[in-house]
Amino acid sequence: MFSQNFAKKELFLKQQKQKAMYINYKLLYKNDLDEDDFHNLQKIFQKDNIYNKDSLQKFEKKGLIQYLKSGEVRISKKGYAFLNDLQIKDYDEDIAEIVENAISSYERNEQPVGNKAEVKARATWFVAQTGFSKRIIIEEINNYLMNNSYILRLDNLFWKPQSHLSVHKNLKDSKLFDIIANKYKLNEEYYFSQNNSEMDWLFKVSNLKVPRNSVYFIGYKEDKLRIEDIKLYLQKILKK
């Protein structure tokens, strides 16, 4: 009884936190938009006719808005999806590619996708927790679809809550992690350990993207070699 009440309290607190809108500014800027653009798009979504019309041409080119026959401006399906994506912490173009490929593969095989917003949120969490590349994730999802008769819903493939009261995600409840860990013989102990600051740092550094060879600046070669060394070190300790 105590554990159920505690779980309900945790769920309530999570819902309260979600009421305060989170904005993924990196994703916003990556799409060549700024804070004013976001506010104008949000106003259009809310049907508030007090937005700055200077943004309309930019929105139209990106497919974020549509015009009614009356000439009124409305948010488009793509624009609505973009506003939702902006509320997902750390969601970026690489994760978007993973999600799009996974959903496409599931639909092509006539398998259940589940809640697409949850697919995006759980995929983002999964990448942050594992550091797995988009190539490996996309590849293993396709292999899973081809080689199994019973298929988990896509959102549950990334993480399946033990009950409707579950609020804390755990890789132990991730079928996709189990598949990849077994295939590559990874040391699961490092992934399951809590508050491992060393592992958190290693994952963050190994995910850094170094500039292309055509770009040179002070410390470039040393930084590139250092990141490559850290990636090799991480691979070694993650092997069983």
Q: In the chain, where are the structural domains located?
A: 19-85, 93-184, 199-238
pLDDT value at residue 216: 46
pLDDT at residue 218 is higher than 50? no
Higher-scoring residue by pLDDT: 174, 19: 174
* Segment 203-221 mean pLDDT: 55
Check residue 212 and report its DSSP letter.
P
Residue 27 has pLDDT above 90, yes or no: yes
C-alpha–C-alpha distance, residues 138 and 35, integer Å: 33
- Are 44 and 55 in contact by the 8 Å Cβ rule? The answer is no
Could you give the CA distance from residue 188 to residue 186 in angstroms, rounded to a whole number? Answer: 6
Given a cut of 70, whether residue 206 has pLDDT beyond it is no
Average pLDDT of the residues of the chain: 83
Separation of alpha carbons 150 and 133, rounded Å: 25
Statement: residue 174 has pLDDT above 80: yes
**Residue 190: predicted pLDDT:** 73
Q: Average pLDDT of 163-168?
A: 82
- Whether residue 169 has pLDDT greater than 80: yes
pLDDT band at 103, cuts 50/70/90?
Answer: very high
Among the ranges given (10-24, 67-81, 202-216), the one the predictor scored with the smallest mean pLDDT: 202-216
Residue 121 scores a pLDDT above 60: yes
Residues 6+ apart with CB under 8 A from 232: none
So what's the pLDDT on residue 236? Answer: 64
Q: What average pLDDT does the segment 116-137 reach?
A: 93
pLDDT band at 74 (very low <50, low <70, confident <90, very high): very high
Please, are residues 30 and 36 in contact by the beta-carbon 8 Å criterion?
no
Q: How confident is the model at residue 31 (pLDDT cuts 50, 70, 90)?
A: very high
- The full length of the chain comes to 240
- What residues are paired with 74 via a beta bridge? 66
